[in-house]
Amino acid sequence: MSAACPVCRKADLNPVKLSYDLPAMGCMSCGGVLLSLILYSDWRERHPAELPATTRGEGAEPAAIEDTKNALLCPKCRGFMTKYRLRADASNVLDLCAHCDEVWFDRGEWSQVEDLALSGQLSRVFSERWQKDLRQAEVAQRAEQRYREQLGDDYDEMAKLRERLIGHPRAKEILAFLYTSQTVHR
């Protein structure tokens, strides 16, 4: 079976091996990789729970991450692939064909998920739960950014104080005491 790269269109995908001989189909032209989640589960079951990461070895240059913004067509069924965010602090997306259970990684994206994949959690990225947690993390980050802007130079010091108050047995009393700075007129 020969399928064309969903990004380059003309170049064919060829068998490649990811970490620990995980079989996938790669494009020599753009460096993208198509991975079957079914083959992945199968491969995961044949390996021990603990696998050290391979792509971020010492001294290894982190691969530049490319990201395809436009919708991709699944190389197998030609249907549209769905985009999934990976982390709240990373803008790139992974493309999944839910029909074929095939994931497309642009160049460099595999190394971003390798830890997850090696611990058997790759499929979680495509779950409702993962995507919901990610959106919540994003909302929290935006709120924090607003505080950072409002507090300006005081932000770092106040963030430290807030950190101290988390779980502090006298947190309420301390907050009440600080509040007197706004109510007591000297």
**Footprint on this chain of Zn ion (rule: CB under 5 A):** 5, 7-8, 11, 27, 29-30, 32, 74, 76-77, 97, 99-100
**CB count, 10 Å around CB of 95?**
25
CA nearest to 34, candidates 79, 83, 97, 78: 97
Chain-centroid distance, C-alpha 20: 21
Q: How far is the CB of 129 from Zn ion (least distance, A)?
A: 23
Q: Which is nearer to Zn ion, 27 or 118 (CB)?
A: 27
> Between residues 106 and 118, which has the closer beta carbon with respect to Zn ion?
106
Report the nearest approach of Zn ion to the CB of residue 12 (Å).
9
Smallest gap from Cβ 109 to Zn ion, in A, equals 13
Toward Zn ion, which CB reaches closer, 7 or 122?
7
- Minimum Å gap between C-beta 18 and Zn ion is 16
Q: How far is CA 119 from CA 2, 37, 130, 154, in A?
A: 30, 14, 16, 41
Distance (Å, whole) CA 73 – CA 76: 9
Between 25 and 122, name the residue whose CB sits nearer to Zn ion: 25
**In the complex with Zn ion, which residue's Cβ is closer, 73 or 174?**
73
Q: Which of 49, 87, 43 lies closest to 67 in space, CA to CA?
A: 87
Question: Structure tokens of 177?
Answer: 């005491």
Task: Give the separation between CA 99 and CA 118, rounded to whole angstroms.
Answer: 24
The sheet that has 82-85: what strands, in order across it?
Answer: 13-17, 23-27, 33-36, 102-105, 93-97, 82-85
| Shortest separation between residue 59's beta carbon and Zn ion, angstroms | 28
Residue 84 C-beta: closest distance to Zn ion, Å: 15
Q: Which is nearer to Zn ion, 22 or 97 (CB)?
A: 97
